[in-house]
Amino acid sequence: MPKSILVRLVDNVGDLIIGIPVFRSVKTHYEKYRLIAMVRPEQRALLNGYVNGFIAPQSVNALQSYVGIYEYVINIAYGYPDGYRPDRLKRNRVNHIGIEDWNNGRHVCSNLITGVAQHNIPVSYYPPKLRLPSAAYTRARDWFECNLPHADDSLVVAVNAGSGFKYKRWPVDRFIQVCKWLIAEFNARIIVVSRDRRDYPARKLYNALPAYARNWLTNQTLDTVAALLQRVDLCIGNDSGIGHLAAAVNTPTVTVFGPTSPRLWKPTGSRSTVVFHRENDCCCGYEKARVCRDKTCFSKITERNFADAILHSLNEHVGRDTKECLDRITVADTIVMSRNRGGTLLVNTKSPHPMNINSGLPEIQRFLNLVSRVQSYSRIVRYDPRQRPLLHFLLLHRILVSASTRRNNRWL
């Protein structure tokens, strides 16, 4: 019988996903060993393909009793016990993979991989990626066919307005405004994601949205939630496990951060966008957030800030040419041009993001006339791919808007 390695990670969903590269590194280096995971039962499906078996969670102190049973015993944590010195993986002790320096400016996931390397395990960093069982994809397909049977041309957005740590929650009223803007501008279909229907932010968000544009995803296994998130166009919400789940299945995410640092905790991958108040950047963390009275890290993040991040993600990660509701663009009918010392100021008065043009104004005007005639992002890009950055720039400044925005007259 092959020898076994025990790896313990008993923590929240987001922490488990951040730890997946550790499981992958250990599994790759010790390929002839059976890898046994000690994780919470509801999280086991998220390690599909990375481990060979599971055992029930135990405390860190209980790990010493497994030293003689497994060839190596590994505990994944965020810090090292007093006096522990990582040098190489040893058989006669509990080995801890943690973070030695929290001030090095690197993401937690990358720091954990450094902890693996400190135990003389060769590593190559890869962002966390889920290998979901086929049954999860079947359940996700059935859910979509039942709840969103005609959403192919709509922008499907998953929204997580809650968080296990209540001080990481952006005000739910602001999520409501953002979701109403998405519905008006892009004919979006909103999937409210929560653990159960007792979740207050999720319930308030769901009740505030029009019935035709809302669905509630609740009481599902984590692998089913992940498979469902893989099918949506965009996932937005607070710093929580849902954002990490979405990023691990390569879904574009927009995550708002308050007391925790996006530098350390943002969902991994190249399709992740974060919103935070840069000037304040309090990063109180878990302990200080409980007693912080100002909450400026959240109060100064407006709905417009969040909408800016969503537009960036739609341009760069979702793709304007993927759906008709994103492809239909036009020039806003509330554009004002004025001269100043620097050139010409161009601004949408309904959603002020002014842009100053110090040269090339005739070219900009001709381009705006082209958009007014064509009203299609994909056709303009096919005609001249070099215009894509200019399109994105004008969309972010609300000079160009969705064709439905003028009809609905709703702005952020």
The pTM assigned to this predicted structure is 0.92
Answer yes or no: do 278 and 145 share one domain.
yes
- The range of the structural domain enclosing residue 368 comes to 328-408
- How many domains, in total, are found in the chain? 3
Q: Do 297 and 369 reside in the same domain of the chain?
A: no
pLDDT at 237: 95
Spans in the chain with pLDDT lower than 70: 1, 278-295, 405-411
Q: Is residue 128 part of a domain?
A: no
pLDDT 10s digits, 129-171: 999 999 999 999 999 999 998 877 889 999 999 887 777 889 9
End-of-domain residue from the set 283, 302, 323: 323
Distances (CA, A) of 28 to 2, 23, 25, 49, 51: 15, 8, 5, 12, 11
Rg (CA), the chain: 24
| SS3 annotation, 349-387 | CCCCCCEEECCCHHHHHHHHHHHHHHCCHHHHHHHCHHH
Residues 112 and 149 in one domain: no
Both structure tokens of 57: 């969670």
- Is residue 251 located within the same domain as residue 297? yes
Q: Are residues 155 and 304 both part of a single domain?
A: yes
- The confidence score (pLDDT) of residue 202 equals 93
Q: Which pLDDT belongs to residue 102?
A: 83
342 plus 319 within the same structural domain: no
Structural domain includes residue 212: yes
Is residue 163 a part of any domain in this protein? yes
Residues 197 and 265 in one domain: yes
- pLDDT recorded at residue 62: 94
Structure confidence by residue, pLDDT tens digits, 43-96: 999 999 999 999 999 999 999 999 989 999 999 988 888 888 888 999 989 999
Domain containing 247 — which CATH number? 3.40.50.2000
Element of type H or E holding 183: helix 172-186
Helices 134-147 and 222-231: crossing angle, nearest 10°? 60
Rounded to whole angstroms, the Cα distance separating 376 from 380 reads 6
For the chain, the first-to-last Cα distance in angstroms comes to 62
